[in-house]
């Protein structure tokens, strides 16, 4: 259905480009446990790609493979047309992949502003000496990156809590700050691990709007894991379905929804 080399145009008229990231036959083992079994899929430029599946299906492990936290036991990761050698997570971050976490992983001892500024660390190159004097490159860099960060803060509407220590914030805002930190890196690929877990309907709607806006305004490619099927089907352009470490479905939401394997995995199979 999809043209491999070129992109396609979605129903709402957004242009989806070529393949940004391709996972080829990824297998991930922890000792005897096989978390991911021979999975291949791709993520295209500008799309919102969802990974769904029941608990323990290996979704988060998949995200961890993409962000370099786990090295796959077998298989290849291709990013922007190049095969990625095994790397440390911070090197992956420098390639332009940012993520948020299922359990919020903000830096509790720092203010919101500092937390979001850490998202810019990959872009800041001033030497220790310049920073010690707070002159020259360090100062210029600080101002330039602050401007960028303020745009993100504006965009996500968290201006009022800029200087608040994150430990004082309610859950929903923490999730938003975490998104801001990931966005501040201006990632080429943004990974969201259950961005709406534990939120009420209103917070979920806010978060959905932000995700769509990010994709729309910055053209950021997004891969997300989410349990709320309504959200996933509404947001995403294409969906990968996993169960017990295997891929059981892949395609646009409507196609996936009617896939009998997917229905079985979610609703169970009648044994007679």
Partner 1 sequence: MFYREAGDFKTSYLEDNQTFPIRFDRYRYYAVLAVAFLVVPFIINDYWANAILLPFLIYGIASIGLNVLTGYCGQVSLGTGGFMAVGAYACYKLMTAFPEVSMFIHVILAGGITAVVGVLFGLPSLRIKGFYLAVATLAAQFFLVWLFNRVPWFYNYSASGQISAPERSVFGVLITGPNAPSWATYLFCLIFLTLAGIIARNLTRGTVGRSWMAIRDMDIAAEIIGVNPLRAKMTAFAVSSFFVGIAGALFFSIYLGAVEVGEAFGIQKSFLVLFMVIIGGLGSIFGSLAGAAFLVVLPVVLKLIGVDILGWPTDIVAHFQLVIVGALIITFLVLEPHGIAQLWRVIKEKLRLWPFPH
Q: How far is the CB of 152 from partner 1 (least distance, A)?
A: 14
String marking each residue 8-47 x if it binds partner 1 according to CB under 8 A: ----------------------------------------
- Closer to partner 1 at the Cβ: 21 or 262? 21
Residues in 189-218 at the binding interface with partner 1, rule: CB under 8 A? none
Q: How far is the CB of 109 from partner 1 (least distance, A)?
A: 5
- Closer to partner 1 at the Cβ: 124 or 199? 124
Decide if 85 contacts 71 (C-beta within 8 A): no
Binder of partner 1 out of 101, 180, 235, 237 (CB under 8 A): 101
**Which residues contact residue 74 at a Cβ distance below 8 angstroms, ignoring those fewer than 6 apart?**
25, 26, 27, 38
Report the alpha-carbon distance of residue 80 to residue 188 in Å, rounded. 10
Binder of partner 1 out of 34, 87, 110, 233 (CB under 8 A): 110
Report the alpha-carbon distance of residue 69 to residue 193 in Å, rounded. 14
Q: How far is the CB of 131 from partner 1 (least distance, A)?
A: 5
Quick check: 117 binds partner 1 (CB under 8 A)? yes
Quick check: 175 binds partner 1 (CB under 8 A)? no
Report the alpha-carbon distance of residue 152 to residue 186 in Å, rounded. 10
User: From residue 138, how far is each of 105, 114, 184 by CA, in Å?
Assistant: 27, 16, 18
Q: How far is the CB of 10 from partner 1 (least distance, A)?
A: 30
Which sign, positive or negative, has the C-alpha torsion 168, 172, 173, 179? positive
For the CA atoms of 159, 163, 167, 172, the dihedral, rounded to the nearest 10 degrees, stands at 0
Q: How far is the CB of 221 from partner 1 (least distance, A)?
A: 18
Q: How far is the CB of 117 from partner 1 (least distance, A)?
A: 6
Residues in 133-152 at the binding interface with partner 1, rule: CB under 8 A? 133-134, 138-139, 141-143, 146-147, 150
Quick check: 118 binds partner 1 (CB under 8 A)? yes
- From its phi and psi, is residue 71 left (phi > 0), alpha (psi between -120 and 50) or beta? beta
Report the alpha-carbon distance of residue 116 to residue 146 in Å, rounded. 9
* HSE-up of residue 106 (Cα within 13 Å, Cβ side): 28
Binding site for partner 1 (CB under 8 A): 67-69, 88-90, 92-94, 98-99, 101, 105-110, 114, 117-119, 121-122, 124, 126, 128, 131-134, 138-139, 141-143, 146-147, 150, 181-182, 185
């Amino acid at each position: 259905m999809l043209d491999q080399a070129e992109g396609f145009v979605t129903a709402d008229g957004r242009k989806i480009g070529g393949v940004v990231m391709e996972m080829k036959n990824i297998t991930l083992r922890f000792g005897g446990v096989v978390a991911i079994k021979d999975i291949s899929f791709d993520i295209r430029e500008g799309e919102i790609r969802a990974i769904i599946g029941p608990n323990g299906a290996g979704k988060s492990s998949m995200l961890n493979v993409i962000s370099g936290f786990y090295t796959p036991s077998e298989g290849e990761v291709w990013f922007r047309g190049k095969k990625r050698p095994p790397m440390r997570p911070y090197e992956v971050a420098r390639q332009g992949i940012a993520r948020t976490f299922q359990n919020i992983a903000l830096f509790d001892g720092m203010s919101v502003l500092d937390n979001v500024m850490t998202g810019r660390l990959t872009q800041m190159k001033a030497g220790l000496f310049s920073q010690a004097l707070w002159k020259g490159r360090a100062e210029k860099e600080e101002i330039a990156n602050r401007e960028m960060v303020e745009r993100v803060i504006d965009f996500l509407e968290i201006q009022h809590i800029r200087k608040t220590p994150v430990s004082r914030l309610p859950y929903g805002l923490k999730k938003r700050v975490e998104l801001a930190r990931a966005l501040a890196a201006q990632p080429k690929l943004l990974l969201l691990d259950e961005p709406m877990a534990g939120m009420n309907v209103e917070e979920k709607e806010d978060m959905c709007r932000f995700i769509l806006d990010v994709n729309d305004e910055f053209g950021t490619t997004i891969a997300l894991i989410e349990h709320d099927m309504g959200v996933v089907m509404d947001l995403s352009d294409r969906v990968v379905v996993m169960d017990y470490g295997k891929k059981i479905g892949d395609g646009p939401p409507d196609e996936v929804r009617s896939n009998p394997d997917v229905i079985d995995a979610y609703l169970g199979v009648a044994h007679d």
